[in-house]
Amino acid sequence: MAPIALLSVSDKRGLVPLAEALHHRFGYQLLSSGGTAKVLQDAGLPVTKVADHTGAPEILGGRVKTLHPRIHGGILARRGDAAHEADLVAQKIDPIDVVVVNLYPFRETVADPAVSWDKAIENIDIGGPTMVRSAAKNHEHVAVLTDPDQYDRVLAALEASGGVLSPSVRRQLALEAFAHTAAYDAAITRWMQARPELDLEPETSDAALPWLEALPLRQQLRYGENPHQKAGWFSAETSGWGGAVQLQGKELSTNNLLDLEAALATVREFGYGSGGLHPARRPAAVVVKHTNPCGVAIGDGTAIALTRALDADRVSAFGGIVALNGCVDAAAAKELTSLFLECVVAPSFAPEAREILSTKGNLRLLELAPEAIDVAGRDQVRSILGGVLVQDLDDELVTPDDWTVATDRAPTATERDDLCFAWQLVRHVRSNAIVVARDGQSLGVGAGQMNRVGSARIALEAAGDRAQGAVLASDGFFPFDDTVRLAAEHGITAVIHPGGSKRDDDSIRACNELGVAMLLTGRRHFLH
């Protein structure tokens, strides 16, 4: 018996070439309904209508077409399962091997702010998601396509494998299918939340319903960044922060989590934990305040790194968030009790450290295994009004071999090490970002100013006399020579930045005049 492909699509892009290939090249029978069947018939393709296949007409104005045992039995049946095979024979059901379905255009319909409630409701697809989920569940035997952009990829895979899709291809298609239906349901949820017809009470509106259906609600937070803002924490249970174990302390707040994220991202520059994909190369400690690192250091042991990070700016460290990339031992625990802190995250805490830190009952301790970080996705998602922005994490390894010396004087070996350390930090500081560092310790951090020389002035003033013989890193190029001249006045001997300004030569000439070495990385690291 020839394999069967069921096609029922709202988006008709690429439909005919796909159906032609399935039928003529790979021998599929075509099964379809409604407008999809008409398009295929008009193209001269032999197609069986769903109503003829099931023996049941479309009813309820088209609300019920594919919701029938001959459709879903054909999709869900496990090949080779004796009981399933017997049911298929008894019910005269033919197996369906490929399901090509995309859904009613709900999001496009409700994009019109004047759309009526009834029109929107009629554009909620029922049969389509049911077929997609059935096929995705039975992906061991069935391939499911939900997007015209998949068609060429699937046809190429069929061609390469002699007409049979591999298990890995079917699994990937199933994953994309479940993501498709999850996004569809989330869009319906969000639209209904905003409609006045539901007359929702404030406490049952946005905060009580999931923002993203794919992630479960981990915790209803007391409030957001400010007490008047509602907030919730959605997270997978075992990946990223969802895999963290809170050992003690009060509930985490929105600001705690934002600061923890910044601290963890920074300390991971030096590796994290003893296992996982990127184990710690050297003990490192990071202190964060208001999502910016205010103290970062490496050292011969966790406690030494921590002390040096705190010493970088103990005033700013008060009430801060600490991230460590190694086990917290007794010596580190004693240092953590030396001032008021909000949270500490580390791969592990030694029993004696736990006992010492228990005297600080409100201090939040989080144990986060490297493996939980490794399985977290690399997408960085931020909300904007009415939508989200998604980008890759800026977490590629620093590659000093790709840097170029721009000045007559090359950095010394010590300066080069310091420049590498400063460059690892500066991409974790809010732009415009400047970091002053020496001997594996941050000395001054300038963040978020509207001009680069302003950030440099803050960082250099924070460093004070310690800037003598130190280095300076900038996340973006120097648009003028004022920053390098200011740096030289404070005793900076080497600078690093991406380069790329039309006036790079001005800064290079100033460095040559002042005896300052300059490295160009060729890569910008803005953090907004």
Q: Which residues are tagged catalytic? A: 137, 290
Burial 204-241 (b: 16+ CB within 10 A, else e): eeebebbbebebeebeebeeeeeeeeebbbebbeebbb
Q: With contact defined as beta carbons under 8 Å apart, do 474 and 446 qualify?
A: no
Token digits for 68? 């029938």
Strand 320-324 relative to strand 284-289, pairing: antiparallel
Question: What beta strand segments (E) does 43-148 contain?
Answer: 47-49, 98-102, 143-145
Burial 45-61 (b: 16+ CB within 10 A, else e): bebebbbebbebebeee
Burial class (CB in 10 A: 0-12, 13-18, 19+), 351: exposed
Burial 266-297 (b: 16+ CB within 10 A, else e): bbbbbbbbeebebebeebbbbbbbbbbbbbbb
User: Which amino acid is present at 406?
Assistant: A
- Helix axis angle for 151-160 and 167-194, nearest 10°, is 170
Q: Which of 477, 472, 484, 487 is nearest to 521 (CA)?
A: 477
Token digits for 182? 């999850």
HSE-up (13 A, CA, CB side) for residue 297: 22
Q: Which of 372, 329, 361, 367 is nearest to 348 (CA)?
A: 367
Provide the 3-class DSSP secondary structure of residue 433. Answer: coil
Token digits for 4? 């069967």
Give the sheet arrangement for strand 143-145, strand by strand: 47-49, 29-32, 4-9, 98-102, 143-145
Q: Can you tell me the distance from the alpha carbon of 388 to that of 26, in angstroms, rounded to the nearest whole number?
A: 40
Q: In what helix (H) or strand (E) does residue 232 lie, and over which residues does it extend?
A: strand 231-234
Q: Can you tell me the distance from the alpha carbon of 75 to that of 133, in angstroms, rounded to the nearest whole number?
A: 10
Q: Which of 501, 458, 450, 511 is nearest to 480 (CA)?
A: 501
